[in-house]
Structure 1
Amino acid sequence: MQYQDIYQFWFVTCSESDWWKKSVHFDHKIKSQFSVHHRMAMQGELAHWRAEPIGALCEIIILDQFSRNMFRDTPNAFASDALALCLAQHAIDKGVDKQLNDTELSFLYMPFMHSESKIIHQQAEALFRALPNYEFELAHKKIIDQFGRYPHRNQILNRVSSDDELQFLTQAGSSF
């Protein structure tokens, strides 16, 4: 499989609603079709994809998006976040973001949104400013600014929640 197959699946075969809804069927589909590629990406075996802007994007999608589907509600859902962020930072340094449309850019920048770093969210706010999902980044940043992490991940990651986090988790919109 080539990066074009990842692109075709994510941006052509899938609908926008597929990207954001929680679906056991969709999660299974990604896991059955792309688990080998996820393992390869985690081991750095897809580095040659980075020679092309869309290839770089597709490696990031595997690590950032597919991980969340393949390993939903487990710590592995977030295990490749740092690698995806590093690859996104590198892609931006190489000017990949100047060669993508807004929808593609959103996924190139998504590792910034998924980060639990206040510094990274300052960067994310600037990156997303001109994109349709800017308000969504602001909602993420607000949580990181308040708690320094995403409280909805605490149980999955075996972290102890503070009283403030527990109260926050009772509110609508406290998780994504």
Structure 2
Amino acid sequence: MMHWFRKDEAFDQLCSAKFRQSLEQVKSTRVTGEAILRAMQPSSPLEWVQLIILFDQMPRNIYRGEESKTVFTVFDPIAQHIAHAATAAGVHRHPLLRYRIGHRLWFNMPLMHSEDRAMHQKAVELIQSMADDVADTANPQKDAEDGTGDQYQELVKSRAIVASSRDAAVRLCESQLQFEVRHKDIIDRFGRYPHRNGPLGRQMTADEQEFLDGGGDTFGS
């Protein structure tokens, strides 16, 4: 999973070869997140996850440097709309995803990438909810309301896996929260990400320049 979060030229090239043409078509049509959901009508939790990866993370591996403007202006609004729709519908806590932390954390990412303070507060809440569910794996009655059937059996199975390595799952949630706080602190301080100023053609303030010159986070951009 970590290949998504570090610079890897070979992986970037693979992403570009497979998905750049499709993303260019989306870019050229100026389609909205709402329109994409109407067209795709995701019917399973994993389809929602796939859409978020496609529109939030994939562009970050394809459009780097000066091209990253496309990420921030075209694809981030789409991914944020999808993440909001998914979490409003409770997809992130669906029985098939509730204890699959590696899948569930994707719903946080579009909000983490936002320059909107309210979205960052929502990201914190989502991560805390994820951590609460991990903590609840010790209680087998917690999910009784989800009943029986294949989805419930999958929930029981994934809960048991998390329970068997709860400390590692707790650390993953803590890491996610710390990563979000690093993002949120920048937005709270500047109202935007200074490292995006160049690609977006924004004037850099003295405080922002000092922050970057001092080694402030750019998150691999």
In the superposition, the TM-score normalised over structure 2's length comes to 0.67
Question: Which structure has more RCO (C-alpha within 8 Å, separation ≥ 6)?
Answer: 2
Are 1:30 and 2:30 an aligned pair?
A: no
Per-residue deviation, 1:39: 4.7
Rounded to whole Å, the distance in 2 between the matches of 1:50 and 1:97 is 13
Q: Which residue of 2 aligns with 1:83?
A: 78
Query: Are the counterparts in 2 of residues 41 and 59 from structure 1 also a CA contact under 8 Å?
Result: no
CA contact (8 A) 2:4 2:61 kept: no
CA apart distance, 1:61 = 0.7
Give 1:31 shift: 0.9
Correspondence 1:67 to 2:66 = no
Larger Rg: 2
Q: How many aligned residue pairs are there?
A: 161
Separation (CA, whole Å) in 1 of partners of 2:10 and 2:189: 34
CA RMSD in angstroms, aligned pairs only: 1.8
The two structures have a TM-score, normalised by structure 1, of 0.84
Range 126-135 or range 63-72, more displaced: 126-135
Q: Any stretches of 5+ residues in structure 1 without a counterpart? A: 1-15
CA contact (8 A) 1:69 1:77 kept: no
Deviates more, 1:124-133 or 1:23-32: 124-133
Instruction: Look up the match of 2:143.
Output: none
**Matched-pair identity in %:** 35
* Alignment correspondent of 1:18: 3
Q: Which amino acid aligns with 1:165?
A: E
Bigger helix fraction? 2
Measured after TM superposition, the shift of residue 45 of structure 1 is 5.4
1:146 is matched with which residue? 189
Aligned to 1:128: 127
Give the superposition deviation at 1:105.
1.5
Structure 1 residue identity aligned to 2:46: I
Residue 165 of structure 1 is matched in structure 2 by: 208
* Structure 1 position 41, deviation (Å): 5.9
Q: What do residues 76-128 of structure 1 show as CA deviations (whole Å, max 9, x unaligned)?
A: 12221011011101011111101221111111210000000011111111112
Counterparts of 1:175 and 1:108, CA distance in 2: 21
Query: Amino acid of the residue matched to residue 25 of structure 1?
Result: A
Segments of structure 2 that go 5 or more residues without pairing to the other structure are 132-172
